[in-house]
Amino acid sequence: MIRALILSLGVLAALPALAETAAPATPPPEQVVAGLSENQIAITATFNGSDILVFGAVKRQTPPPDSAPLQVIVTLEGPPNPVDISRKGHVWGIWINTERARVTSAPAFYAIATSGPLNDVLSQTEDLRYKITIPQAIQDTGIASQVPDGEAFINALIRIRKDQGLYVLDQGTVAVEQATLFHTDIRLPANLTEGLYKARIFLTRNGQVVDVHKTDIRVRKMGLERWLYELAKNQPPVYGLLSLVIAIAAGWLASAVFRLVKR
Amino acid sequence: MQIYLPIAEVSVNIFLLLGIGGGVGLLSGIFGVGGGFLITPLLLFIGVPPGVAVATGANQVVAASVSGLLVHIRRRTVDFRMGTVMLIGGFAGSNIGIYVFELMKQAGQTELFVQFSYVFFMGAIGTLMFQESFRAIRRARSGAPPPTSGSRSRHGWAQRGPFKVKFRTSGLYISVLPPVGIGLMVGFLSATMGVGGGFILVPAMIYLLGMNTRVVVGTSLFQIIFVTAYSVMAHAITNQSVDLALAVLLIVGGVVGAQIGTVIGFRLKAEQLRILLAILVLAVSVKIGLDLVLTPSDLYSIRSVNHP
């Protein structure tokens, strides 16, 4: 019910706003108008993941073409970081890390939701152009010079992060109604890192991207989490001493309490 | 019930952390070992990044050791003089260790170096302790008198050395050089292996110095507090990898466990204590050894570069 309300409110609010803006030189025949249920996510001590509702509508000047069905792809990309990938080898009877490759940039989180099977909604050339699928989100230039089989390392990175719930591909989870309204839920896991998360919503027909809409979600530690994090980064000696004081006080307290209990 | 850890940046079950802290604290109280060699692998297992696991584990060891030490101080089973002498060696050793660790890092095989150290030192010490305490238990069963006086006079080298000092609590009058040397070695290992060093310290004091087992546990805890506190500060300043939220939960479990453990420790016989510690040390070394030899479930591992 609330979701439906947000959905209709969002569409109503967005449509006139868009109409007021100056028309671009050649407006695409179909434009996406979209919103998110949240633009800020606070990581507090009890943070246990979050659901983001992505919703929107298609705005048209002319009746929809009836050639191919309208499809929607939603991506959400976390802050990028370099990642080291190590592979173990069997050397003299023991397993040790023998090869290592560094990926210059891999998103800490990447979710992609589609309205149908990925191969149907997106052509390979369009994927290369807009960098939509998970392998495209990882920048692996130069990996071939580090290890002979760079692709195996990239696949391992994707596999491990998929297992951790950090890379997600949900096919067919975007609901499209009457070729105009759409909505989907994207689950943000509990092991989230802070930073700017970029959301993109693509409209496609016949595998070709018709229009794209971009927006951001700010993920930030709040409250006690923020305070501890800032103290650890900005005042390391104070933070270290605080850790020790807490440890010693707790040790003393437990000893004192148990002494009282035993009496 | 989950909690999000601000430095580790993972969400973990609160009761799991309390349980780990409590279990390790219990063992720490019984045996006088800090428990770093247990807590670090356990934290890694539940998904805490390695740097955070080592640094935060050290902070938990401080708390558990303080809690255990206070009980020993009241029972007058701490040799402060012996502990202080070993600390002098310990700080020197840990600084050398940090330097060597840096060299290994540049060579790119720290993980292997740490695993080998675990397998070698814990395997050797565990085996020696197990054999000795097994013989002691068999002797006690057969009713023969324990040859304690004999085992102490065996260490003539400690009596003959220069700078002789009277360690009244330990009942020893020996040169300060062997305790300083032991402290040095333990400090070195604790900096390179990321542990407090209790599992090396306890047997070294019993077998190399011939100290009374009763005094050994308290004295070991005394020395561990300072060595691990030093390591917490070093990690907090250089890597910013101590997670206080994680530390507090481990500590709450740990101090309670340590109190119960200390009481159990006083009830056990000295040789039972030693054989149980030997089994524990051997188990960890076998586990790490198997990890090196058996085919890993995943050949690949990933590490985000900006993460501690």
10-residue stretch averages of pLDDT, chain A, 263 residues long:
54 47 62 87 86 90 79 92 87 84 90 91 90 88 81 91 91 88 91 90 89 91 88 90 92 84 73
Instruction: For residue B13, count other CB atoms closer than 10 A to its CB.
Output: 13
What pLDDT is recorded for position A216? 92
Domain limits for position A50: 2-221
Q: Are residues A105 and A24 in the same domain?
A: yes
| pTM summary value | 0.76
What pLDDT is recorded for position A185? 92
What pLDDT is recorded for position B39? 84
User: What are the angstrom distances between the C-alpha of B176 and each of A108, B84, B92?
Assistant: 54, 11, 15
What is the total count of domains within chain A? Answer: 2
B305 neighbourhood in chain A, CB within 8 Å: 81-84, 102
What pLDDT is recorded for position B152? 45
Q: Are residues A169 and A235 in the same domain?
A: no
What pLDDT is recorded for position B156? 54
What pLDDT is recorded for position B16? 92
Q: Are residues A135 and A238 in the same domain?
A: no
Q: Choose the most confident range, by mean pLDDT, from A84-93, B152-161, B203-212.
A: A84-93
Determine the average pLDDT of the residues in B60-86: 86
- For B61, nearest residue in chain A (alpha carbons): A247
What pLDDT is recorded for position B3? 87
Mutation to test the B interface, candidates A87, A244, A252, most B Cβ within 10 Å: A244
Q: What are phi and psi of A110, to 5 degrees?
A: -150, 120
Q: Are residues A213 and A234 in the same domain?
A: no
Determine the average pLDDT of the residues in B227-249: 86
Q: Are residues A253 and A163 in the same domain?
A: no
Determine the average pLDDT of the residues in B207-211: 81
Nearest to B302 by CA among B49, B85, B75, B72: B49
Please say whether the beta carbons of A207 and A121 come within 8 A: yes
Q: Are residues A256 and A202 in the same domain?
A: no
Give the closest of B229, B295, B300 to A244, CB-based.
Answer: B229
Mutation to test the A interface, candidates B24, B104, B251, most A Cβ within 10 Å: B251
Q: Are residues A255 and A167 in the same domain?
A: no
Determine the average pLDDT of the residues in B212-234: 85
What pLDDT is recorded for position B271? 78
Task: For B161-200, write each residue's pLDDT tens digit.
Answer: 667 777 777 777 777 788 888 888 888 877 776 666 777 7
As a whole number of angstroms, the distance between CA A193 and CA A79 comes to 8
* Residue B139 to chain A, least CA–CA distance (Å): 35
What pLDDT is recorded for position A21? 47
Determine the average pLDDT of the residues in B42-59: 83
- For B25, nearest residue in chain A (alpha carbons): A251
Q: Which residues of B79-107 are buried (b: 16+ CB within 10 A; e: fewer)?
A: bebbbbbbbebbeebbeebbeebeeeeee
Determine the average pLDDT of the residues in B285-300: 85
What pLDDT is recorded for position B34? 65
The 3-state DSSP class for residue A198 equals strand
A250 neighbourhood in chain B, CB within 8 Å: 63, 66-67, 248, 251-252, 255
Q: Are residues A46 and A20 in the same domain?
A: yes
Q: Which H or E run contains B271?
A: helix B270-293
As a whole number of angstroms, the distance between CA A136 and CA A118 comes to 14
What pLDDT is recorded for position B158? 59
Q: Which H or E run contains A103?
A: strand A94-107
Torsion angle of C-alpha atoms B88, B204, B216, B87, degrees rounded to 10 = 10
Nearest to B61 by CA among B277, B267, B231: B231
B9 neighbourhood in chain A, CB within 8 Å: 191-194
As a whole number of angstroms, the distance between CA B171 and CA B213 comes to 11
What pLDDT is recorded for position B136? 82
What pLDDT is recorded for position A7? 53
Instruction: For residue A24, count other CB atoms closer than 10 A to its CB.
Output: 8
Q: Are residues A161 and A250 in the same domain?
A: no
Q: Are residues A84 and A132 in the same domain?
A: yes
Q: Which amino acid is at B296?
A: P
Q: Are residues A36 and A76 in the same domain?
A: yes
Q: Are residues A13 and A92 in the same domain?
A: yes
Determine the average pLDDT of the residues in B109-116: 74
Nearest to A34 by CA among A7, A16, A52, A66: A7
Query: Over pLDDT 70: what percentage of chain B?
Result: 88
> What ipTM did this prediction achieve?
0.80
